[in-house]
Amino acid sequence: MRIMIKPLYLLLLLISGVIKANDLSPMNDEEMGAITGQNAIQLSVKLHNNVEVQDNNHVAGAHCTPDASGYSPCRLGMEFVDKERNWLVMKQFYGYLNLTDIRLEGVSLPSSNTAYYDPDRFKRADGTCLIAGTCNPRALAAIEMSYPSSKGSGEYQDMQTFLNIGAMVVERNNPGASYSDAANPHRPDAVADYGFMRDETAGVANAFRISDSSGPNANMQVRFDGSTLIYGF
């Protein structure tokens, strides 16, 4: 699968500042030029993760309130290979995502290449072509993704998002845990023994937050101009 971004102008309204990305350099395949076909499916997706939506000032869900031992389930844990039984835990994990009017269209890539075309990008390690016989993606069928709505001056409604990770810490599995699942040798028998269930580490390594200054938990607002072509082989 490859993702190719056509003339893409990304506007990010972050906190109180505005990052305007309309000077992004076109990617190598940008010059693949005009697409053909006009067809579409339009989707809007609204997803709240552990928040109660309140206009532009979301609050964490009631289940995110820590209990007497400091535990709440609003967390995401990751355990990396060779570091088994140690979990990177993102606590106070909640957020909001609203993607408005994503348009998906079936198109064809241009039938001719440009100067940026590099056949080596479409070869296996042994030098054979990933694309049957040609090492060339020209004219392949593709899916074009764009955000056609809310393109008026000052409108930033294509993506609205808010994310809070209040604390990133490393938590170890309970040293006294037992392990009896041979197929998953690092999964303790008792759920409470998982590192991501524990609150033993003092302090916080990091925290992360995406928001807007217009409210305590207001949405970041994003506008996507241009389109993305997705194709595979």
Partner 1 sequence: MASKTFSLLLAMPVSVLALTPMDDAGLSQVNGRDGLTVNLESSSGINAESLTWETDEGTAQEALTRLSDVSLDGNGSNLSASWVMDVSHDGTDPLLSIQSQWGLTRLIMGGMSIETPTNTSSSMGQAALYSQGSLNFINRGIFDNDGNKAKLAFDLNGDWIYRQGGPGSAEISFGNLEFTNRFTTGAANSHADGLGTIAIDNTGIKVASSFTESILQFDLMYNDTATDFDTSGRTAMMHAGWIGGLTDTLVRVSPGGVGVNALSPKTQGLSVLTQWGFDSDFILNLGHAGGNDTQLQFRDWRHLGNGSGPMLKMEMALDVLQDGAGSGGLCFGVTGQTCVADDFYDTRADAGESAFAILLRDSYLRAYSESIAVDSLANVDSASAYDWSVILTMGLLESDILVYPGGPYAEPDGFRLDAALMVQSPGYWDAANSNVAAMRDAAAAGWETNSHFLFADMGADVAIGLMNVDVLWNADDLYLVLGQDDPAFPDLPSGMMLSTDVLSRYQVRGLLGAGSPSDLGSDVAKIALWDLNLSANQFRFVLYPTTASGSEALGFDAFMNLDGSSYLTLAEVSSPQSAFQLYNVTGSLGWGNGSITVRSENETADNLPSLTIANKLYIGENADFGQTGANHLDPLIGSLGFGDQNYGQIAMPGGVWHSEIVAKIPQ
How distant is the alpha carbon of residue 49 from its chain centre? 14
Instruction: Identify which of residues 14 and 53 has a Cβ nearer to partner 1 in the complex.
Output: 53
Burial label for 109, CB within 10 Å (0-12, 13-18, 19+), is buried
Residues that bind partner 1 (CB under 8 A): 1, 37-50, 53, 61, 63, 73-81, 83-84, 87, 93, 101, 103-108, 124, 130-132, 140-143, 148, 183-184, 186-187, 191, 194, 196-197, 230-233
Write phi, then psi, for 64 (nearest 5 degrees). Answer: -85, -5
Q: Which amino acid is at 102?
A: I
Instruction: Identify which of residues 27 and 53 has a Cβ nearer to partner 1 in the complex.
Output: 53
Give the nearest distance from C-beta 76 to partner 1 in angstroms. 6
Q: Distance between CA 118 and CA 163 in Å, rounded?
A: 38
Instruction: Identify which of residues 13 and 188 has a Cβ nearer to partner 1 in the complex.
Output: 188
Give the nearest distance from C-beta 184 to partner 1 in angstroms. 6
Give the nearest distance from C-beta 194 to partner 1 in angstroms. 7
How distant is the alpha carbon of residue 77 from its chain centre? 17
Instruction: Identify which of residues 24 and 131 has a Cβ nearer to partner 1 in the complex.
Output: 131
The upper half-sphere exposure of residue 91, i.e. CA atoms within 13 Å in the direction of its Cβ, equals 23
Please identify which residue in the block is written with the tokens 């979301």. 58
Name the strand (E) or helix (H) holding 98.
strand 86-108
Give the nearest distance from C-beta 89 to partner 1 in angstroms. 9
Give the nearest distance from C-beta 223 to partner 1 in angstroms. 18
Which residues lie closer than 8 Å to 202 by C-beta, 6 or more apart?
none
Instruction: Identify which of residues 187 and 209 has a Cβ nearer to partner 1 in the complex.
Output: 187
8 Å CB contact between 171 and 87 = yes
Instruction: Identify which of residues 198 and 223 has a Cβ nearer to partner 1 in the complex.
Output: 198
Name the DSSP class of 173.
Answer: P
Give the nearest distance from C-beta 10 to partner 1 in angstroms. 22
